[in-house]
Amino acid sequence: MKTVAADPKGVDSGPHFMDGDHALAEGALAAGCRFFAGYPITPSTETAERFAERAPEVGAMFIQMEDELASIAANIGAAWAGQKVMTVTCGPGFSLMTENLGLACMTETPMVIANVQRGGPSTGLPTLTAQQDMMQARYGPHGDNMIIALCPDSPQECFDLTVEAFNLSEFYRVPVIILTDETVGHMHEKVVIPPADQIKIVPRNNYSGPKEDCRPYKFDSKGGHPMVRAGDGYNFHITGLTHNEKGYPVMTAEQNVKVVTHLMEKINSNADDIIRLDEDQIDGADVVVVSYGITSRIAVKAIQDARKEGIKVGSLRLITIWPFCEKRIRELTGKVKAFVVPEINYGQMVKEVERCAGSHSKVISVNHCGGAVHDPAVILDAIRKANQ
């Protein structure tokens, strides 16, 4: 990935005391996002508010659309008109966005969507935390498709991972979802925004070659294919229909294989480059706690307590949730007695861990539904049980 320094105009360098939602907006501006179409929904609204407030001075455009269907749709349009784009929402809004999330995947449109998760289903717990949309982010839109999802555990990471989300999104031309949660979104902490020249961003890569060679797509299971920008004279066509590399509809079984394989494999076959994990004392561990987002911070306390008791416990924090770190789990399977998977849902990512662990290691789910973070004692109990 070719990177350049961030445009100082969008970078509010220095130490801040801000919550995760605001940090998402700052991350977007730092990454060069200049278009934000949003719709208010608790607990994500603050991101839209901050972007709206900052937009005039940065020279960006903010628009509050009539609903989430429209926000993500406007983002698709803006992306093809040359802007880096972002929107935020939570469960109910994300449900509406899945329609055009599918279109964004199909048309390989770079964009960042933050889902500040709250308890569901339906209207659920608008002001309380959850991690219940992990599978929705992956499997929300109909049809086979693949996205990238990142999971920050702090306001600082909300900033950092938003920049990274834009970089991945630009390179792989895929929607990148930031799966945070109400707790991180509303938690105020120190956030240090580096100087612009220390923030590496992947700039929009627009096609500039001869018209006859212009192809909006290249079905090669790789990243790095340039976008085509509206107004540059290439007369591109894009569609949600199964299409060829020129963007024209070709509705055959053979073409569907080509398109879908590319959409899946441009992420899956590059998973090693994409996936970021935060590992701690995994070598020689008997128990590995696999966690993400706010739950990983609760798990830290349980892990510390367990170590005091002499249990060899490691931590595997999933910064990249999708694509799932299959390879790493398979490597550890058989070497560790058990995986402990705490999460604020009825057990979602634990199924991925179980799938990769097979029958070689135990997998213990420490789930509880939305509304509150874990009590560290519950995770500690699970670690003890896992060590038996």
Q: Which is nearer to other proteins, 78 or 199 (CB)?
A: 78
Distance CA 325, CA 6 (A): 29
Min. distance of Cβ 215 from other proteins in angstroms? 14
Residue 99, interface with other proteins (CB under 8 A)? yes
Min. distance of Cβ 138 from other proteins in angstroms? 20
List the one residue out of 352, 313, 306, 346 whose CA is nearest residue 329: 352
| Binding track, positions 47-86, relative to other proteins; x by CB under 8 A | --------xxx-xxx-x-xxx-xxx-xxxxxxxxxxx-x-
Q: What is the dihedral of CA 207, 211, 212, 216, to 10 degrees?
A: 40
Kind and range of the H or E run holding 298: helix 293-308
The piece of 29-37, 149-157, 305-313, 365-373 that touches other proteins (CB under 8 A) is 29-37
- The packing angle between helices 253-268 and 91-106, to 10°, is 120
Distance CA 223, CA 231 (A): 24
Residue 336, interface with other proteins (CB under 8 A)? no
Q: Which is nearer to other proteins, 141 or 185 (CB)?
A: 141
Min. distance of Cβ 7 from other proteins in angstroms? 9
Question: Which of 51, 159, 236, 339 is the binder for other proteins (CB under 8 A)?
Answer: 236
Residue 37, interface with other proteins (CB under 8 A)? yes
Residue 25, interface with other proteins (CB under 8 A)? no
Distance CA 317, CA 304 (A): 15
Residue 257, interface with other proteins (CB under 8 A)? no
Buried b / exposed e across 34-48, counting CB within 10 Å, b at 16+?
bbbbbbebbbbbbbb
User: Token match 């956030």: residue?
Assistant: 191
Residue 372, interface with other proteins (CB under 8 A)? no
Q: Which amino acid is at 43?
A: P
Binding site for other proteins (CB under 8 A): 34-35, 37, 55-57, 59-61, 63, 65-67, 69-71, 73-83, 85, 99-100, 102-103, 230-241, 248-249
